[in-house]
Amino acid sequence: MQDVLAMTYLWLKAGHIIFMVFWMAGLFMLPRQMIYLHGTAPGSEEAALWGKRMGLLRKIILTPSLVVVWVLGLALASSIGAWDQGWFHAKLLVVVALTGFHGFMVAKSKAMVAGERPLSEKQLRMWGEFPGIALALIVVLVVVKPF
């Protein structure tokens, strides 16, 4: 029985890492695609093409990966009893912030597809750094477990 539980844990962990990589890749790509869309004329053929690409990124990679990361992450936390560990609370806070970033960027990308330009290219470049910083924090929290 212990072997089954150990294998389940490893499969949950592997799935969590795989879908986290997919989610992070999408979070790195979306601001970049928004920068490309920013330079196009609203309503142009090129703007429509970037809008379609961003829609596919959201629908096929970002949102499904977000859901799977949360489900597997909560299952992992429960399986190892992480709820009373300080590093886990800090990681959870960063993941909640990443989820908020996800929603913020999705909303802004939809506004851009509709012809608005709510963020400048410079702002998009700055926001594009957020996932990398969050990822570095999460890795340190999970590997080092500083508290």
Tokens of 23: 């989610």
Strand ranges for the chain from DSSP E: none
91 is known to lie in a ligand binding site:
yes
16 known ligand binder: yes
In the chain, what is the straight-line distance between the N-terminal and C-terminal CA atoms, in Å? 31
Q: Which helix (H) or strand (E) holds 92?
A: helix 86-113
Most distant pair of Cα atoms in the chain: their distance:
61
Per residue in 61-80, is it b (16+ CB within 10 Å) or e — as a string?
Answer: bbeebbebbbebbebbbeee
Residues of each annotated binding site for heme: 16, 91
Binding residues: 16, 91
